[in-house]
Each structure stands twice: as C-alpha cells, then as structure tokens.
Chains A and B, each alone.
Chain A
Amino acid sequence: MSDLTLTSAPPLAGFDRRFGDTVLKAPKDLAIVSIALPLGDEAKAENAIKAAFGIALPAIGTSGETKDKSSAIMRLANDQAFVLFPCPTPDAERQVAAKLNGAAYTTDQTDAWCALELSGPLARPALERICMVDLHPDAFTVNAIARTVMEHMGAIIARTGEDTYLLLSASSSAKSFAHAVELSLKNVS
C-alpha cells in the first residue's frame, strides 16, 4: 500500500456568491453518472431504472426526482440519461451500475462536469445574458432541462425550482463558466 495520498479538489469547490437574495454556488459532492439504454433492450433498462430509483425514466428534455429527493434523473436523449446524486467518494458509477445490474451502460461523468446552482429573483435576468434557451416559466417549466451553449461553452440547464436552475458545463473550463454566470449576475444586479 502506498503511503502517498491524493486530495480531491474539484474546480469550483466552495464557490459561493450572493447578489442580494440571489445565490450562485457550486453544489457539494454532486455525482453524475450517465446511463445509456441498450438498443432493443430499452424496456428492460427502463424497468431496471424504475426498480433502482423508484421513478420512471423521465421524458426527453425533463428531469425527475426520486421520492426521497436523494437523486434526480435527467433524460437527455432517446438513449441517454444522467443520474445526479450526492456522493463524496469516486465510486458513483459503480454504485449506479450495481443498482442497474447490467441492464444499461454506465459511465462516470462526475469529474467531466462542473455544476452551479443559481437561485433567486435575479436568476432568470442573469441567464438571459448568456443562455439562448427560452426560460419563460411557461416555456421552460420546473423540471425542464436543455442542452445548450453559453459563452461558447457546452452546457446543460435544468430548472429545478420556481427560481432555481442547475447549470452544468465542462469541468476544464469551469472557471470561465463560473465567471460568465457571475458576470451576468453583476450586470443585472
């Protein structure tokens, strides 16, 4: 056994900014695991997902939360979904794979993404500056998700509450992404 130790340092760890009642912060220990539905065995996979998480696979472009609110599933494409849940250890994929028991393909995406939660009255005006998706409450309802681009960076936006959005973007450009969102808030505050 090596006596050398590794330290975890996600790029936005501890990020927390407040603009009045609006908060922009990085969720702690948010794990992301992608699920791919095998071609021809989608029903089997969907059953496994329901058995594992207690909720049906959401429709494309929406997310669903487990009853105990411990996990959320984002349905990104016909054959692709993300499971999001708090997990401080680097074994999120194994946990999900074990639950699905081979019914779907899984890939750990935790470290591929950075996440920011934007919540409060300035959330939508700030996002108006960088997000080309129509975020009107009627057009982008609670639990809606969309893949998009913000400031040249690929992103996923999810409306998780009335005035709350979860933003995901590539972890390598996390600092640029956080700057973009924070600057938007500064500009509208």
Chain B
Amino acid sequence: MTQVNRIKGGLIDRAQTLNFQFNGTQMQGHAGDTLASALMANGQTLVGRSFKYHRPRGIFTAGSEEPNALVQLRSGAHQEPNTRATVAELFDGLTATSQNHRGSLKHDLMAVTDLMSPFLSAGFYYKTFMWPKAFWEKLYEPAIRMSAGLGRLSMLEDPDTYDKGYLHCDLLVIGAGPAGIMAALAAGRSGARVIIADEDFTPGGRLNAETLELDGMAGQAWAAQAMAELASMSNVRIMSRTTVYGAYDHGTYGALERCTDHLASADGKPRQILWRIYSKRAVLTAGATERPIAFGNNDRPGIMLAGAVRTYVNRYGVTPGQRVAVFTNNDDGYRTAADLVAKGVTVTAIIDTRNQAAAMDIPGVRHMRGLGVMDTKGRHQLKSITLTDGQMIDCDALAVSGGWNPNVHLTCHQRGRPTWNDDLHAFVPGPNLPAGMSVAGAANGALTLAAAMTEGRDAALAQLSDLGLNTSAIDLPRAEDEARDGVAVWHIPQSKKRAWLDLQNDVTVKDIKQSHREGFRSVEHMKRYTTLGMATDQGKTANIPALAIMAECTGKTIPETGTTIFRPPYTPVPIGALGGRARGHEFRPTRLTPSHEWATKNGATFVEVGNWMRAQWFARPGEKGWRDSVDREVLATRGSVGICDVTTLGKIDVQGRDAAAFLNKVYANGFAKLAVGRVRYGIMLREDGICYDDGTTARMGENHFVMTTTTANAVLVFRRMEFARQCLFPDMDVHLISTTDAWAQFAVAGPNARKLLEKVVDADSQDMSNEGFPFMACGEVTVCGGTPARLFRISFSGELAYEIAVPARYGNSMMGVLMEAGREFNATPYGTEALGVMRIEKGHAAGNELDGRITAHNLGMGRMVSQAKDCIGNTLSKRPDMNREDAVKLVGFRPVDPSIPLIAGAHLLNKGDEANMANDQGWLSSVAYSPSLKHSIALGFIKSGDTRMGEIVRAVSPVHDKEMEVEIVSAHFIDPEGSRLRV
C-alpha cells in the first residue's frame, strides 16, 4: 500500500522508512509514527470490530484514551491483545492484526449481530439467558464469549521479562505537556530533585500536536528545547514512555515505564518496569481529554475527535481523509479546520451547534451554524453526514469536538470527588486531593496555553516553598490564550439512529435511557447495568456524556447525578509487569539449609517449609515409594542412629542481666532457676492464653540463653519477644538477636548417638558420658580438632539424642563428617517425614496441634502455666471456660482394626451418634504410619480425653466418605516412661 494520506510537515523522520504488516498486508511508515498514524497514512481507515455488535471501527483518538483502534500486536508468544494503535510506536518489522471478527476484518461473519441489535440492548443477557438454568455454563456463556470480546491471548508463556524499582524525588511532575514542562523547569532550576514522567515517547503534550507558538518559536521546538535543558540538569529525571497510573498513600505513585515496546526485540532486557515513586510533593499536569458529541451512527470509521485530527495533521503529517467535515459546539473545533486547510486538506464544512458567527474565519470553508449531525453513512468508511436540517454533506472524515474534560483521574484515587465547573461544562479536581498533590494546567481546567504554563510554574514553586526548599524566579515564555468558548451539547436529540457513548463496550444513548427506565438511577448502577466505562479504556471519552444523558433522564444536574469513582490504574498495566521478576524459580526467595548440597547429592526429595527447602526423605535404590524410605529411616534411627538437619528451627540469642527474668515473662513455665548448662522445654502463650509456640531454651551462661522455636514461628516469636522487650518490659536489660542462620544444627538420634558423637566431639572439650552430659544438658564444645560447636542433649524422637551446632560455614562438611563417623553404626540421614513420624510416635505436639485454638490445658500441660509467676497470657488462660473438665485433651488414637489407615482431620464421634457438629467430640490432628508398631497411629483432641483411655470411638471423615473405630490411648506410643532418653 502507499501512504495515500501522508501530507506535508509533522515531527516524523521521513528519512527513516519503517516496514510493517497489518493483517498480512505490507505497509510503510516513518520513525516517529504510531501504528495508528501509519495505518491512517496508508489509508487503512477500518482497523477493528466492536465488542458487542461487531460494528466496523476506525481510529477515534490520538492517545491513551482510544476506545476503538485496539489491535493484537506482534505474533507468537509475544502477541499482545487489546493494544491501542494510537500509542503503539511504529518500529521496523512490526506486525499487527485486527481483532474480534470471524472471517476477514472487512467481511466479519459476526456482523450479523448488528442486525439483531434491537434484541441486544443493555442487560439483554441478564433477561434472555435465564432458562433453562443449566444452559448458562455449557451453552450460553461460551456462545456469548465467542461472539463478543476483545483480542486473544497467545496461550503461551510470556517470553518477555519485567522489572520494578523505587525512585525518590522532591517533586513528581505527572505529564510533560506545557504545564508539566513549566513545572519541571521551575523546580529543576530551583535545584529540587524532580521526576517528570510522560506516557508519550516525545514529551511536549499538545505542543507537539498544535500550531501554537511560545516566545515566537513553534510549540514543539520550544518543548524540545525545554526538555533538553531539563535533560542537562543532574537533579531532574525525565521518564518518557512512562505512565503514572496510580496515586497511593503518602505521596507514593505507581508508574509503568515501557522500555522496549518500541523496539523489534527486547534483547534480553526488561520489557517494562513498574516503578514505585516516593515523592515529597506532586504536580498533576495530565492534560485534558476531548469528549465527543453523540449522534446517530457516530461510530463509523473516519469519525474522530477534532483534537486528535489536529494531532495527526500537525505531529504525524497525515490526514484522516481527503474531504473532512468538522462538527463542534465550541471554538476549539475551528482550529482543526484551520490546521487542515493549512496543510491543503479540503474541509467540506464546519457545523457548529451554536447559532452564532464563526469563531474563526477560514477561507473556503462553509460555516453551518445552529445545526448538528444527525446521521451518517458509509459502512467501512464514512461517506456522508446528514444534518439536523436534512442536508447531506459528502465527507470521508468527520472531526467532532464536544469540549474538553480535565484528566482528574489521579486526583480521585483516594476517593476525592471532582467538582463541576459550569464554565467548562466539565468536572475539575475537587478539594480532597491525595496528600501532597496539586493540579495545574488543563488537568485543573486551565485549558488555554498561557494559563496552563502559568499554573504549572506557580504550582511547582508553591510546592517547593511548602517543602521549605529554595525557589528561583522563572519567566514564562510569551504565549496566548486560545479562544475556547463553547456550550454544553452532549447529544443530538433529533437523531433516531443509535448514538454511541462508549465505543469500546458498545453502549448507546438508548441504553442509558433504558437503564434509567428500568430503575437503575444511581450512576454506579447505571454503569454496571450497561457496562459503560467498564472496558479497558475505562470510559475516558464516554463517562461525562453518559452522565449528562443520565442527568437529562433524572431531571437533575450533572453534579447532582454524580460521578463514578476513578481507580488505578489510569491505563492498563500488564499482569506481567505487576508480577515483575517474581516468576518461576524466582517467585520468592529460597532458604537453603547448610547441608543442602550434601542432601542433593544423596538423593533427598525436598519439601518447601516456609521459604526453606528441607530434605523430606532420602530415597535409596529399590524403594518403591516415599513410605519405604520413611519407614526405613525411622527404623534405622530407632535401631541405631539417624542424622537430620534441624537448622531451620528458629534460634534466638538472649542476653542481659534480666534475660532470665524476661524468659519468665515470655514462657508460661519458669526459666529463672534453670541452671547454667541445662536446657528446658517451654511453651509460649498469646495474650489470650492460647499456646502459640513451644521449644527448648538452653542456659549457656548466667546472662546468656539460646532459645529454639519452631521453624514456622521463628519470625513470629522473635517479633513478639522484641515487642515485649521494647514495649512491655523496657526497664529490663535484655537483648535479642537471631542466630538461626548462624549455626548449622543437626539432630543425632538413636541408641548409638553418643558413640557417634564421641568420634566427632573433641574429648578434651566435653565429657560425653551420661553422667558428664546428662539428658537436657547443654554446653560449648569443640569438634573435629578445635572447631567451636554447641551441644544440646535434647530429643524430639524419644531416643537417646543430641543436637549439635557448628558455624553454618561448616554445615555441609559437618553432615559428611557425621555420616563418616557413623558409618560403623550404619548411620542414616533422615528427613522431615521420618522426623514427623517419630514425634507422633513419641506424642510431641507440633504445628498440627498448636493450631491457634489450643491451650496448655488442652495439651495436658495446664500445670506448666506457672502460678508462682506472671507471664504473657497467664491471666486470660485462667478463664473458666478454658479450663473446663470436659475440654478437649491431647491423647493418642489407634485403629481398632490395625490394617485400616487413619485419616488426619477426621472428627471423633461417640458410637451411635449421628455425624453432626452437635455430637462432635474432637478430631485427629496428626496421623502417621508407625513402622515401629506396624499400624497407623494418630494424635488428636477429644473431650475429657485424659479420662477416657481404652474407650472406642468413631473417627469420621465425611470428606473421604469414610469412618473407622479408634481406641483412645496414651499419646506416648513409644517408650512412655522416657527411659531411652536418659541412658
């Protein structure tokens, strides 16, 4: 195709010709074009089909507010649907396809939908597809989704990468139009740290799109010069191709920078960056959006906003047609006609709704006053328009100007409401702006050039003064205020044909009236019933005219009718950008145990525990499944010796003169009298008396304790203790620091544990005999010839067991050393599954039991809550209902038929009782197959469990549709006397 609509001038680089494809057709454009301007240059007026009625659609705007010209950009896995051609920068090799049609774009088979439009008005699917109910999911919804909708996803993984980042500034300037540039110049020259962001790839806003002059220079030249000055300032950061999409708390803004969307390939760099900008102050200079006037068949390709036509003519050197008409209710529309004529394009008429003299004398252009456009013709491109007096005018493009709406969106992101301005017939920013934000220029209703620049400068300097920063006086360039008078004309009531308000969601004037008739009087209800403003353009061109129609229906004013709430994002943000780097393996950080490398080499299967990767079991050749491995690990440990990396348990170093007294406060049981060199098990209560963590604490010195917590609660316990230290007991001399990662800690358990460790612990550092280092002893030792280590004689498995800790750098090596030392005992590494089985066999509570509802009384540890001292949770743990005799108690359960596996989570019922909540007796919290006992066992809670030993009850799992008889037994399935621990 040739560039039939390319005209002289513009900011494009004609020396650089770029080849691109649209629907398989080769076309050419130039550097500086958008896809929309290049399509227009090539005479491609028809670019897509509408959402609901499959109406032919063209290009409507020249910016991010575009509701019509949505395309699928790129191909394969890079394909992105619903891309606005008006902001897609042209690059060599670009491919785009139109969307939402079956068959070719020109001959869409689904266009038949348009003929059925009388039956498809607002809410039709709510009413039509009610019966039969079962048809909705299987038939109606898929059919509707197939016929309506936007572009298609590639269904392939997004091959692009994304990043995010954090920026800080004194002043954030949002929008680099005349007001924004002036604000940035004022602040930049004053020395403030400034960020100026603009969604366009060429900053300048309407200075690039108009023929306005500043200081006698072309507006775009002045803008380029000003941006060059800003670029030379080290205190100013210019962010083009960056949309500030949301205003958040405390001066924080979200911004999306499109880094490589304008390039053929991202070349391994992030495609987009999601920035969080921390600003001390912000000036919103986001400009204004032109609004259309609704009239019959106002959606045909070739009908555009008048300001957009100026942009195409002046910035891109392209005309939307060869015979253009202008329809306006204000003075601004005349400038479109003037700019077209200046470029040699024929303007067939200016139709002004006002019955008054022409706002501008444009030789050779027919001025038709007091009229409106009532209807249009031309299926794939506009051919003619019919006026309210019946005249028909031939034209292939129509520029429509209904006045301008300030872009107040970001002022509303924290529920601020805009206020109505009768002079502008538009909403302007209200009084409740986000903290630190001020608004200037067209966004503030200063729609003319000189006024916008004055506001931009003054707003920036006022913000700096407010911050107490220096301000430098800055002269304004000479500029004029354009004529902009207009009247409020929202639609042409004489039109009998469908008149579109929301072009993207196919909502018409008739739909708004119908929703009102059907009782949807609130703006919010109207929006949801008609879907007006709910498409990806968020109704930027549709909302205000729709409100006006709504106001007409209700007989209220527009401000009385109200607005819907603007929420972030201002323009669409890809999910990929929100996800950023956090995908795949890097979705979140991974914590590795010190022996991770050893475990990997030795066949470990890993399980995620929080962020930790823990060895779950170590499979050996010939084992048919995880149970084989786990059973072997348990039996080998109980039979000889097993080794498990338990580094993940939280470790907190507690020091200070009041450390012991402090532990007395945070533990329910007493620690003050714990002897140096001894370890004690403790439970911690929340303020409400619920038990939330347990563990052991070792007294390494008079004022030095080492606490262990559960893996899951390591951070929570530290945080609560830090709160207690700083806020509850600030007079105590106590200091906390996490040492979880500092020490690699290994459980060495089983009857040969001592013999193994005697080979590792330096004999001169510790007497390892039972008398020299008894159960619950602890001490500083050395291993392997002098490496400092800590040794604790504690047992989670119920066997003779130790935990030995070495500085983490030696962890991987230590695992190998322990295995080497244990070779003669057939030492076995075991993972978290075997660890879990052994603790259930021993009757130790863990996370399954401490589920946020359980008290010490429930655990059978009520007497551990010392009455001789106070502790966090003590008072509320005494509430009578928490100490009922019939409270659930932790006990063990075994199946009456040993061949039946128990089910964790099964509820307990007395024999003969119906399975309902009223008869609920308790539940099974932890279940395991015990290789020692050769049947399934469980820990669980049952009412008065401690007095019901030997009773048979039912374990019922409605989820599995199973039930079984279980016997209540002691929770200590293995060595209930604890004799193995003490040998």
Contact = CB atoms under 8 A, between A and B. Distances in A.
A and B bound? yes
B657 A38 contact: yes
Interface stretch (A17-25, A55-63, A130-138): A130-138
A1 B807 contact: no
Interface string B572-598: 000000000100001011111100000
B166 interface: yes
A12 B612 CA distance: 18
B168 interface: yes
A47 interface: no
Nearest to A90: B807
Given A5-B784, A91-B788, A112-B740, A175 B735 contact: no
A187 B270 contact: yes
B655 interface: yes
Interface in B794-848: 806-810, 812-814, 817, 820-821
Interface in A14-49: 34, 36, 38-40
Nearest to A40: B733
B152 interface: no
Contacts of A6: 783-784, 787, 806, 810, 813-814, 817
B809 A111 contact: yes
Interface string A43-81: 000000000000000000000000000000000000110
Nearest to A179: B586
Given A4-B817, A10-B809, A112 B787 contact: no
A60 to B, nearest CB: 15
B165 A129 contact: yes
Contacts of B163: 129, 184, 187
Contacts of A107: 653, 655, 737, 739
Q: How extensive is the interface on chain B, given as a class?
A: 35 or more
Nearest to B821: A4
Contacts of A98: none
A112 B738 contact: yes
Contacts of B817: 4-6
Nearest to B164: A129
A146 interface: no
A123 to B, nearest CB: 14
B812 A9 contact: yes
A7 B741 contact: no
A75 B590 CA distance: 29
Given A34-B737, A80-B735, A111 B589 contact: no
Interface string B97-135: 000000000000000000000000000000000000000
Contacts, number: 157
A177 B813 contact: no
Contacts of A79: 735
Contacts of A111: 741-743, 807-809
A172 B591 contact: yes
A143 interface: no
B785 A2 contact: yes
Contacts of B273: 129
A36 B165 contact: no
Contacts of B656: 36, 38-39, 105
A108 interface: yes
Given A34-B737, A152-B588, A90 B809 contact: yes
A180 B315 CA distance: 42
Contacts of B611: 173
B168 A139 contact: yes
Q: How extensive is the interface on chain A, given as a class?
A: 35 or more
A105 B655 contact: yes
Nearest to A189: B269
Nearest to B590: A176
Give the most central of A6, A111, A130: most B CB within 10 Å.
A6
Contact of B785 (A1, A38, A129, A170): A1
Interface in A105-154: 105, 107-113, 128-134, 136, 139, 151-153
A79 B656 CA distance: 12
Nearest to A41: B733
A136 B784 contact: no
A36 B784 contact: no
Contacts of B809: 8-10, 90, 110-111
Contacts of B343: none
Interface string A147-187: 00001110000000000000000111101110110011011
A179 B590 CA distance: 11
B732 interface: yes
A70 B269 CA distance: 40
B741 A113 contact: yes
Contacts of B703: 105
A151 B163 CA distance: 11
What is the interface of chain B mostly: helix, strand, loop, or mixed?
A: mixed
Give the most central of B589, B590, B807: most A CB within 10 Å.
B589
B276 interface: yes
B590 A173 contact: yes
A75 to B, nearest CB: 15
B759 interface: yes
A105 B735 contact: yes
B956 to A, nearest CB: 41
Nearest to A138: B193
B967 interface: no
Contacts of A176: 586, 589-591
Nearest to A140: B168
B760 A4 contact: yes
A132 B762 CA distance: 47
B763 interface: yes
A112 B655 contact: no
A153 B589 contact: yes
A171 B735 contact: no
B902 to A, nearest CB: 35
B167 interface: yes
B767 to A, nearest CB: 15
B278 interface: yes
B678 to A, nearest CB: 21
Interface in B419-447: none
A72 to B, nearest CB: 18
Nearest to B787: A6
Interface in B629-686: 647, 653, 655-657
Interface in B187-212: 193
Contacts of B807: 90, 108, 110-111
Give the most central of B591, B738, B762, B809: most A CB within 10 Å.
B809
A10 B813 CA distance: 11
Given A173-B589, A173-B591, A179-B586, A136 B735 contact: no
Contacts of A180: 581, 589
Nearest to A94: B788
Nearest to A106: B655
B784 A4 contact: yes
B436 to A, nearest CB: 16
Give the most central of B581, B704, B783: most A CB within 10 Å.
B581
B813 A9 contact: yes
A1 B735 contact: no
A128 to B, nearest CB: 5
A7 B597 CA distance: 13
Contacts of A2: 759-762, 783-785, 821
Contacts of B704: 105
A173 B653 CA distance: 20
A80 B166 CA distance: 28
A39 B725 CA distance: 12
A36 B741 CA distance: 19
24 contacts: A2-B784, A4-B784, A6-B783, A6-B813, A8-B809, A38-B657, A38-B733, A39-B657, A79-B735, A90-B810, A105-B735, A108-B739, A111-B741, A111-B809, A112-B741, A128-B166, A129-B163, A129-B164, A172-B808, A173-B591, A173-B592, A176-B589, A179-B586, A180-B581
Given A2-B759, A38-B657, 4 more contacts: A4-B759, A4-B821, A9-B813, A38-B656
List the 8 closest pairs (A to B, CB-CB), nearest first. Answer: A36-B735, A111-B808, A112-B742, A39-B733, A176-B589, A172-B591, A134-B168, A105-B655
